[in-house]
A and B are shown apart, each in its own frame.
Chain A
Amino acid sequence: MELVKSITTPVVLDYDYITGRAQSRFLRGIAEGRILGQRCVECKRVYVPSRGACPRCAVRTEEEIQVSDKGTVTTFCIVRVPSENLAFNPPYACAAVLLDGANIPFMHVLQECALEDVRMGMRVQAVWVPKDQLGPTMSSIRYFKPIAEPDAEYDTYKEHL
């Protein structure tokens, strides 16, 4: 009798995910190739994507603002561990990008950049799928890539780490 060495024990959860109004507006903006945030009427911070309220001031955010698809890498990590269903082959860089005009960073993947060149403060821009493939999904932005702009000063993003 040959011993069994291992077994698969899958864990499966199926959800119907409902985005809510604020995120629906954000995703419908993405489907038009625009990145929408919302500005708090009190503290003036711009949230991207917005959840429909300011967590600091506890007020609803109503004012919609289009922010740039260019931004600054505030922090990053290198993903080296492969797993199923990854859109990119490891190793690759995952970065928090503070879009110009926004007050919170936004997680995405960096490409077209050697891993050893990824750094805090580097300037990047979204690379979109072709216009006819845009949809209300974050995969409408394929990744961010470096652009030929000088690095942002630490003081300009230190509040957003």
Chain B
Amino acid sequence: MAQTEAEHEAPLTAVHHLEYAYRRSVGPVLGRFLAALAERRIEGIRTARGRVLVPPAEYDPDTGDANPDDFVTVGPSGTVTSWTWVSKPRAKQPLQHPFAYALVKLDGADTPLLHAVDAIDESRMRTGMRVRPRWRSEPKGEIGDITCFEPEA
């Protein structure tokens, strides 16, 4: 015999909050990158072949060799090389209004950095646009010390 919904009590529901509070060690190279952010500088590392990686890596992805201890300050402005629009940001995302996730190649760098761009409206976004960092008022030595990038002028 078919049972109708009314013959059942409504199913129970509960709010389920799942959170992993991971703490990860960053190593000496990213550790220096983050420490520089706290001083409002963006540092990359120069590989033996002369490419500047931002964020810096311990090893050269082209050769697998350990990178020399050759840190260079880049930016702070850069050029958007690719982007995607986030129309409904989630709670832990960098901005709580619509924004772009973008790859930003900072001046002096050879690789792009992924970060948020606060363009207010998607129509302002384009590949090749110039952006500059907006710094958090109280730096903590995290990538979030750059609140986001914003269009220049």
Question: Interface on A for B, CB 8 Å cutoff?
Answer: 1-21, 23-25, 27-28, 84, 136-137
Contacts and interface: CB of A to CB of B under 8 A. Distances in A.
A53 B36 CA distance: 58
Given A16-B14, A84-B21, 16 more contacts: A1-B32, A3-B32, A8-B22, A10-B21, A12-B17, A12-B92, A13-B18, A15-B16, A17-B13, A17-B16, A19-B11, A19-B13, A20-B11, A21-B11, A24-B10, A136-B12
A27 B13 CA distance: 11
B138 interface: no
Given A12-B92, A14-B15, A7 B24 contact: yes
Contacts of B32: 1, 3-4
Interface string B3-37: 00000111111111111111111101011101110
A10 B14 contact: no
B153 interface: no
A57 B131 CA distance: 62
B12 A19 contact: yes
B107 interface: no
A8 B22 CA distance: 6
Name A's interface SS. Answer: mixed
B14 A17 contact: yes
Contacts of A19: 11-14
Given A3-B35, A4-B31, A6-B24, A14 B12 contact: no
B152 interface: no
A6 B12 contact: no
A157 B17 CA distance: 35
A17 B15 contact: yes
A159 B35 CA distance: 58
A17 B31 CA distance: 39
Nearest to A31: B12
B142 interface: yes
Contact of B11 (A9, A15, A18, A84): A18
Given A5-B25, A17-B13, A27-B12, A10 B20 contact: yes
Contacts of B38: 4
A14 B92 CA distance: 12
Contacts of A136: 12
A23 B12 CA distance: 8
9 contacts: A1-B32, A3-B34, A6-B23, A9-B22, A9-B24, A12-B17, A14-B15, A17-B14, A84-B21
A12 B18 contact: yes
Q: Ordered nearest first, which 5 A-B pairs have the shortest CB separation?
A: A3-B31, A4-B34, A15-B16, A17-B16, A4-B141
